[in-house]
Structure 1
Amino acid sequence: MATKADIQQLRKQLISATGDKDKHQAVSILKRLKAQVVATDELLRETKIGITVNKLRNNDVKEVADLAKELVRKWKGDVGQSGSKKTTTAAAGSASTSTAPSPSPAATPASPAPKASPALSASSSAAPSAPAPEITTTVTTTTTTTPSAAAPSPPAPASSGPGPAPPVRRQSSGGPPRTHKSDGVRFNDGSKGDTGDKTREKCCELIYDALAQDSGAPSDLIFQRARALEKHVWTQNPPPGGTATYRNKMRSFYLNLKAANNPSLREDVVSGEISVVALYEMDPKDMASDERKAENRKLVAENLFKAQAAAPQQAETDAFQCGKCKQRRCMYYQTRSADEPMTTFVTCLSCQNRWKFS
């Protein structure tokens, strides 16, 4: 079985392979993931491998797209089985707790509880046809009858009793994104830290919504991050001269933090791994996701390769073998300057791989 470190390494290799359009490498990595990874919620959340594979379902290469779809279905099944196992274990534990005291009245006919045993037998015989609330009531009465079952009883009131609501999270099945309104967080309400400026408070709301949309962090922490980022941008660009820069910066941060394919940036900002000062100094290209960075590197390499002005007419040959697909159908042309050796540029006609040599 692959460890978390192995999965993260495979994820980086998969991103690089898809960015370079290396079909064979991508297929090999997807097959390794299918054979070596048994998915759980915690594993997919920490390694982010599910996000990367899910994007490949619409890949241009049919084999890669089919493998990605098959892998996503497999992992959904793994997560469902792990969840059902937990539910079954919990149900078995509660069942053993409720049925453990029952043998004691039946095993001691001389005990002073002969009247309770018919009630227990009647309730157990009616259990299959009774609705869920009556089953819960029966378990409660059984637990209170036997002193040995009094220990497990405190957790039941604790779970059913009123308590603080857990932090709102977007479910894995796809639910509404988390916002300041759903969290009950109010800006521009005259509290401590309120700037009194509608524009600044609106910027804080947008940054909060971008950071919180798929986060499980407490609302107070996200509120502090949004406030700190807006305050730092305002301090670095005071009005009236910095008003335009302030608005452009806040718009750029909102769009990059809100991007659906860039969850790692949001997590790093909320956790504090990327400070507000460091985020302010980052360029938009530095805030991009790993997939986007790989695509940008690929585009730069292609543009540099195509920037050959006034190249001579290319010719087809089988004198060269492609290093990727091992085919020999290639196009090539050669250039030479006064003080440099001959340089040959080759393009594979099968997989469009390009290389050059002198």
Structure 2
Amino acid sequence: MSAIKAVRQLKEDLLKQQAALPGDGRNEKILDILQRLEKQKIDLAVLTETLIGASVSKLKKHENAEIANTAKGLVKKWKGVATQAQAAASGGGGKAASKSDSNNSTSSGGSAKSAPSSAKLKRLSSAGSSELSADAEFVGLPPHRINICKKFHTIFLMSKNELSKELNEAAVGQLCISRAAEVDAAIDTWSKGMKPTYMEKVRSLVFNLKKNGPLREQVILGQVSGDRLTRMSSEELLSEEKAKERDETVKNLQDSRRLDWDTANEKKINEMCGIKGDLLKASLFTCGRCKSVKTTSTQKQTRSADEPMTVFVLCLNCNNRWKC
């Protein structure tokens, strides 16, 4: 098994344990996975392809001190690997650039003017490299699908700054491009080539991915595949805030249909109406003897059915009884 496949499998196992309920040796299993990751030979290519650093970095503040320390050590080690690889790459480029500059300086007197212009062209080409790679990724698709891919690419770039805090910025940029193409292909497969169905699903996902940052990051990191995203229900696509608002609305609607709603919400009603202290024990009737409002009342049908009920009142202060 290659290093990439092995690390991917360990990453899946780690995500399952993180999502599992506490207990049943969960911490021991997570620690075992981290120790197995320590034994793997991981280079920059493996880190970029699997994004294992993002999953392990979340464990740096774990409640278990041993897991937290192991995760910190792994992240520090992998950052060193990435730094060395980038330094080696930039060092090779620097040598080539210095060699070409020395050749240009000895060629003619006008080389001093040509060097800045070549450096400027190099900066311009590197600045537009992401757009060129995006166009190359989407080439061959129908025009309307190319536009949709670019729209998803723009949406995924909204999470680039946040993800770049823990991951290589260039790798995140490439992931945004590949995930945009993957989501577009999944929607096309799901809609079976029917353009109205395709566009309806696109509108739904574009709206929800703009609002739901955590879901957007999960798609970029591969925790939610394009196929899974396409088949998610409207409730699953909601952001955490919208989901809470929806649950509260449903709960209020269910409560309003209860026959005992006034009894169950008596405390809340009293607070809204400013009823406090002795007023909580007050009733609609005032005792004629002691003028107290602490009374209880019951109703009984003492006359014929077409007559109103008779109210019997008891004063809780002086035990006076009367009817009305």
TM over 0.5: no
Report which of the two has the higher share of helix: 2
Q: Higher Cα Rg: structure 1 or 2?
A: 2
- Normalising by structure 2, we get a TM-score of 0.44
